[in-house]
Amino acid sequence: VLWEDEFYCTYCGKKFGNEPAKLAIHIKNYHETGHRKSK
């Protein structure tokens, strides 16, 4: 598989360009919340 210099969410496909940190925060905030509800 040839990866381009673009990070995207594997859950919803939202693109984050070359900012993996923003992608990580997005996944943490939007997609990991369903696994464990600790708030």
pLDDT value at residue 32: 86
Domain ranges of the chain: 1-39
Nearest Cα to Cα of residue 35 among 27, 4, 20: 27
| CA atoms 9, 10, 14, 19: torsion sign | positive
What pLDDT is attached to residue 36? 59
- Listed as ranges, residues in the chain with pLDDT below 50 are 39
CB neighbourhood size of 4 (10 A): 7
**How far from each other are the two terminal CA atoms of the chain, in whole angstroms?**
38
